[in-house]
Chain A
Amino acid sequence: MTQPVANQPTARLSDAAIRRQMLAEFWFYFRQNRGAVIGMWVFLALVFIAIFAQVIAPHDPTQQYRDALLVPPVWQEGGRAEFLLGTDAVGRDMLSRLIYGAQFSLFIGIVVVAIALIGGIFVGLLAGFFGGWVDTVIMRVMDVILAFPSLLLALVLVAVLGPGLINAMIAIAIVYQPHFARLTRAAVMGEKEREYVTAARVAGAGKLRLMFKTILPNCLAPLIVQATLSFSSAVLDAAALGFLGMGAQPPASEWGTMLAEAREFILRAWWVVTLPGLAILISVLAINLMGDGLRDALDPKLKRS
């Protein structure tokens, strides 16, 4: 049947106008997905909390109140008004630690995606554009990386590099990078033979220019979707590494690290265990909701399902 189209491109438009129209169309589809919009608001709230953590947090996240060890949340018997969500085993305010934890998660997500995206695009462009043995070698290396379970490889890499947040992020980025390389390569292969690329080549565009200016913008959609997915997985995996003692090190208020410290109290103080995990779940869920909406809005082929 006839496919509903939000905007029919009519007369010749300037680049800026086309871009505005594409954005409007994107927003039209994105808005229809209620979950995606909710996810976006939650994510924006997280960004806000992370940026203004110093202002919002009632306490210093590392300040230990020796008279207030394992104080339960305020609504529970024994709770204290100054510690809304209670305190941990060494008397640090849970709420403040959770608020500062948002900084870690967003930072991890951004850095991991940035490294994996840039590395993957570069490698994928090389493979897709040059083909031949360059392609074979690069893609085989990617295959090898993908043959390892991602968390295991990240763990071993961290073991090699030494535990810590930065190394954890590098390790996770290395493990994620093949996905971007594969996507870029596939897109380049598909786009390479299209008329506009041939036209650009005939017009005398250099290879580098051709790769970055002509082909890349046309394979952005799948990369954006993959980037969102990787963002949420990065938050999860970094928390997992933290939980296993290989990520951010105490006393950092990274949520996974907080969970690791809280493990021994799981049957005594539910809040020290429940709350950091809930924070991880909510952020990852929000990003995934957004990712679903992005995929639907950016990829018309998937729109129907």
Chain B
Amino acid sequence: MIRFILSKLLYLVPTFIGITIIAFGFVRILPGDPVLLMAGERGISPERHAELSAQLGFDRPIWEQYFDFLGRLFQGDLGNSLVTKKPVLDEFLTLFPATVELGLVAILLATLIGVPVGVLAAIKRGSWFDQVSMTAALVGFSMPIFWWGLLLIIFFSGVLGWTPVSGRISLLYFFPDVTGFMLIDSLLSGQKGAFASALSHLILPSVVLATIPLAVIARQTRSAMLEVMGEDYVRTARAKGMSQARVVGVHALRNAMIPVITTIGLQIGVLMAGAILTESIFSWPGIGKWMIDSIARRDYPVVQSGLLLIAGLVMVVNLLVDLTYGLINPRIRHK
């Protein structure tokens, strides 16, 4: 098992180097002067230009700049935002919990609904439930979620007036950041109505973000269950006189979950892409919105480091998924 982990870790090193090269390189591959590009249409004075060039190290050879970039990276220095002047890492860490909270709730929703639906569709194959749920899953899979979010806003906020349109919590409430998770912090604050407010702000964005993963998980669970239900060991479980619930819920499900868990893990990348759209629709103050705003503002240090951090994050999550896969699959665990 330890060798399994080490080999996985080793495999990541070149990928991580590749990620740093891309993140480092994307500003450099711009045609023309990067400093001018950052300045955008406003233009820039020659003094400021020289100052910025030196500050960003553009006057030195490219490989020297790259190793400098790597060196600073390992010291946790990801540069400063051109707009706010604050360290990129600090901004990232402030906004990150909002995205994690949204993403976690979304993936939880998707899993808690998607897995049972997939299992039920598989064991009732061909039934109306199977047909309806799989049609719905395909619609969900095909959904332009930015539009879906707008529709939900029209209906639940516009027509019914049930949910707020944007943000994480009503401005009426103010309490210190403890965990960064609004749901938990609002409870800790003990303020009446704070939790309900946080929850009502979270519902629509998390539903929107959960839509595609939910569809993927339900479809994958169904097909994994169908495959497993045809295996010899499921027949054995039946031959042993085990109840249908035990055959499906223990013998089949345990094996079907192995590919499903991989699928759930792979949704993290999908979630990050979805977060960009969802956060932008609901003005959710997370890293998705941060990235979009920074791209629009040409805040290249933020885009560069944000790209690096997000890709690194996805990589780590994928590693964890691989390891979980090893943990739940005895055939790998005992190699």
Contacts and interface: CB of A to CB of B under 8 A. Distances in A.
A and B touch in the complex (CB under 8 A): yes
Interface of A: 35, 140-141, 143-144, 147-153, 155-157, 159-160, 232, 236, 239-240, 243-246, 256, 259, 263, 266-267, 270, 273-274, 276-277, 280-281, 284-285, 288-289, 292, 304-305
A277 B314 contact: no
Contacts of B142: 232, 236, 281, 284-285, 288
B277 A273 contact: no
A244 B142 CA distance: 19
B138 A292 contact: yes
Given A140-B14, A144-B18, A284-B142, A244 B277 contact: yes
B154 A281 contact: no
B311 A147 contact: yes
Contacts of A147: 15, 18-19, 311, 314-315, 318
Nearest to A39: B138
B311 A240 contact: no
A151 B147 CA distance: 16
Interface string B166-209: 00000000000000000000000000000000000000000000
Nearest to B304: A156
Contact of A152 (B158, B272, B315): B272
A148 B55 CA distance: 28
B144 A155 contact: no
Given A144-B19, A236-B144, A288-B142, A151 B273 contact: yes
A305 B223 contact: yes
A281 B272 contact: no
Contacts of B135: 35
A153 B26 CA distance: 11
Interface residues of B, number: 49
Given A144-B18, A281-B139, A149 B273 contact: yes
Contacts of A151: 273-274, 276-277
Contacts of B119: none
A281 B212 CA distance: 13
Majority secondary structure, A binding face: helix
Interface stretch (B61-69, B81-89, B288-296): B288-296
A297 B135 CA distance: 19
Contact of B296 (A236, A245, A266): A245
Nearest to A141: B18
A19 to B, nearest CB: 30
Contacts of B26: 156-157, 160
Contacts of A152: 272-273, 276, 291, 307, 310
Contact of A288 (B141, B146, B151): B141
Interface in B124-151: 135, 138-139, 141-144, 146-148, 150-151
Interface in B17-72: 18-19, 21-22, 26, 29-30
Given A149-B273, A155-B295, A156-B26, A280 B154 contact: no
Contacts of A281: 139, 142-144, 147
Majority secondary structure, B binding face: helix
Contact of A148 (B144, B158, B310): B310
| Most chain A Cβ neighbours within 10 Å, of B147, B226, B227 | B147
B269 interface: yes
B270 interface: yes
A134 B291 CA distance: 35
A274 B138 contact: no
Contacts of A232: 142
B303 interface: yes
Interface in B262-276: 269-270, 272-274, 276
B147 A276 contact: yes
A284 to B, nearest CB: 4
Given A147-B15, A244-B292, 20 more contacts: A35-B135, A143-B18, A144-B15, A144-B18, A144-B21, A149-B276, A149-B310, A151-B273, A152-B272, A152-B307, A159-B295, A236-B142, A240-B277, A243-B277, A259-B147, A270-B154, A274-B151, A288-B141, A289-B138, A305-B223
Contacts of B14: 140, 143
A152 B315 CA distance: 15
A140 B15 contact: yes
Contacts of B144: 236, 239-240, 243, 256, 259, 277, 280-281, 284
B146 A240 contact: yes
B303 A149 contact: no
B239 to A, nearest CB: 19
